[in-house]
């Protein structure tokens, strides 16, 4: 199911100082998925997915275990194709270009689309080296520039103050919540447009979870965020739109407030009220 939202922007245009005109501005669609099907060999994991992801919004994907949430998010940066025997039909346009087309270079896509995983996965290196890893691969060598990227990225991930005096220490020495924010900083260091998050707080305690949630709300001012979560309260707290998936299908996709307060589909209602899943 796809929805199209229209943000109406009223622009006052002085016309002989007497009249007012209004103009409609379309929000920018970052990912436009059309009729996407995906198979892991015989398993039909995604079925006729149609979804639009809008710029500078948080889109949450919820649904019971095995419904295809992770598969979908991993299709958005083509990580899913690392699994042998994966086949797809349909299209996913990223800023107008079909990423499933062979002509799309995965490396190009991944410089624009960062990913944060369920378990914090810092490299066994210093905090500094973790954050500079991506920029160095992209050829940045100048120490002053790398220093600047480290500070900006760690600030962006709301962890600068906690780690600024131990940048050369191993990231493994940090708490789980701090490690996850370093991983978010590592993702910001490549200056992506989109951040994909696959259950980023499921391994964190409630306080760290809250910090990452606050961070996500802040990050959406600059980035487009797509987050898979098992936690419906989390989806309700932080997302603008929510996708409910079941058995590989999108059952409902709408504004988060609407989906949780007034679901259109009985299956969504059953899921969010805990009657199944």
Ligand X SMILES: Nc1ncnc2c1ncn2[C@@H]1O[C@H](COP(=O)(O)OP(=O)(O)OP(=O)(O)O)[C@@H](O)[C@H]1O
| Residues contributing to the site for ligand X (CB under 6 A) | 40, 43, 45, 63, 65-71, 83
Taking the complex as a whole, how short is the minimal distance between the CB of residue 197 and ligand X, in angstroms?
13
Identify the helix (H) or strand (E) that includes residue 113. Answer: strand 113-116
H-helix or E-strand containing 38? Answer: strand 29-40
Alpha carbons within 13 A on the beta-carbon side of 76: 32
CB of 273: closest distance to ligand X in angstroms?
19
Q: Can you state the angle between helices 176-188 and 143-156, rounded to 10 degrees?
A: 120
Q: Which is nearer to ligand X, 134 or 248 (CB)?
A: 248
Q: Which residues of 225-264 are buried (b: 16+ CB within 10 A; e: fewer)?
A: bbbbbbbbebbbbbbbbbbbbbebbbbbbbebeebbeebe
Continuous segment of H or E residues that includes residue 150: helix 143-156
**CB of 69 or CB of 78, closer to ligand X:** 69
Cβ closest to ligand X, residue 58 vs residue 228 = 228
192 SS3 class: coil
Query: What is the closest distance, in whole angstroms, from the C-beta atom of residue 217 to ligand X in the complex?
Result: 23
Lookup: tokens for 32:
């436009």
Residue at token pair 């259109």: 264
CB 80 → ligand X: shortest distance, Å? 8
Q: Whose Cβ is closer to ligand X: residue 63's or residue 135's? A: 63
CB of 136 to ligand X, least distance (A): 31
Closest contact distance (angstroms) between CB of 183 and ligand X is 18
Q: For ligand X, which is the closer residue by CB, 45 or 150?
A: 45
58: part of which helix (H) or strand (E)? Answer: strand 58-62
Q: Which DSSP symbol is given to 141? A: -
Which one, of 38, 32, 41, lies nearest residue 74 by Cα?
Answer: 38
CB of 250 to ligand X, least distance (A): 12
Q: Which is closer to ligand X, CB of 135 or CB of 248?
A: 248
Nearer to ligand X, 189 or 250 (CB): 250
For residue 243, what are the β-bridge partners? 61, 253
């Amino acid at each position: 199911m796809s929805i199209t939202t229209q943000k109406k922007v009223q622009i006052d245009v002085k016309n002989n100082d007497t009249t007012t005109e209004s103009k409609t501005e379309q929000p920018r669609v970052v990912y436009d998925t059309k009729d996407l099907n995906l198979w892991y060999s015989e398993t039909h994991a995604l079925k006729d997915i149609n979804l639009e992801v809008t710029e500078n919004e948080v889109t949450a994907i919820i649904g019971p275990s095995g419904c295809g949430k992770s598969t979908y998010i991993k299709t958005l940066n083509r990580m899913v194709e690392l699994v042998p025997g994966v086949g797809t039909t349909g299209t996913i346009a990223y800023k107008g270009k079909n990423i499933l087309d062979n002509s799309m270079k995965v490396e190009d896509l991944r410089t624009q689309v960062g990913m944060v995983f369920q378990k914090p996965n810092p490299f066994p290196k210093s905090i500094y080296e973790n954050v500079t890893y991506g920029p160095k691969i992209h050829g940045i060598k100048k120490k002053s520039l790398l220093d600047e990227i480290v500070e900006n990225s760690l600030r962006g991930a709301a962890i600068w103050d906690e780690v600024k005096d131990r940048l050369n220490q191993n990231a493994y020495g940090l708490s789980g919540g701090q490690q996850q924010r370093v991983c978010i900083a590592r993702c910001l260091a490549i200056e992506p447009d989109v951040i994909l998050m696959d259950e980023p707080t499921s391994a964190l305690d409630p306080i760290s979870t809250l910090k990452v949630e606050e961070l996500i709300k802040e990050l959406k001012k600059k980035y487009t965020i797509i987050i898979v979560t098992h936690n419906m309260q989390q989806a309700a707290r932080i997302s603008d739109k929510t996708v409910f998936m079941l058995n590989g299908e999108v059952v409902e996709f709408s504004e988060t407030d609407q989906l949780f307060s007034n679901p259109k589909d009985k299956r969504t209602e059953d899921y969010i009220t805990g009657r199944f899943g």
